[in-house]
Structure 1
Amino acid sequence: MQSSYIPFSGPGEILFKKGDPALGFYWVLNGEAEIIIPNKRSIILSPGAMAGLDSFIEEDSVPFDIINRGRKLDCIFIDRRCYNNMREHHEFNRYMNRMVLNCLRSYRNLLLPSERIYL
């Protein structure tokens, strides 16, 4: 498996289906992806966001469907080998830490009532 550029060209195209193993993650370059969370508001992933990152880091399956939100979505798929090579660069590590915090904020805001958030 190699990291590569992957274009999506139609609304609803699937990046990950719920239960897929997270063998890598998608780095959104152009367009928007959407994390579909049943009975909750979806999470929109804009350019710079990473789809499936949390599951990839935890070496777990993807808990929600992630789809192309619009007509065109351009991504880079990052596999484990590429990720490990990129981790050697300090700036990449800082960016990854920001992305993980963004994932946590997005999920927390959807899954916890606002009165239970203590930050």
Structure 2
Amino acid sequence: MTDDQGAGYHRPPISGRFKKGQSGNPKGRPKGSRNLRTDLSSMMKRRVQIREDGEPRLVSRQELVLLRLFERAAKGDTKACTQLFNMIMKFEPGEQSNSETTIVTEHDQEIIADFLRRHSKHEE
């Protein structure tokens, strides 16, 4: 019986199969290799010096971008306002639902009690 006799659909030749205990990608992704997310994150964390009220101050590049966006929005730039509000809504969605209180009336409670009463009878 040769090496390739068992080969066929979904059955590669034995010589071409991975050896037991050996990875199919032995080198794999090198440790410390970076992707766009890590590069962007490290770039935005770097600190730069700005002047605020005539005083020098160190801020992250991310904060600098947000400060510039806020300044444009404060001057009446509607696109900047929209971007700020979209960011706020994206990162703080829970505050919207907390401000709305649900009111359960006595009539609602009666309906729920009736449903539970009828539902518990069917289970027995």
- TM-score normalised by structure 2 residue count: 0.26
- If asked which structure has higher relative contact order (CA below 8 Å, sep 6+), I would say 1
Higher strand share: 1
- TM-score normalised by structure 1 residue count: 0.27
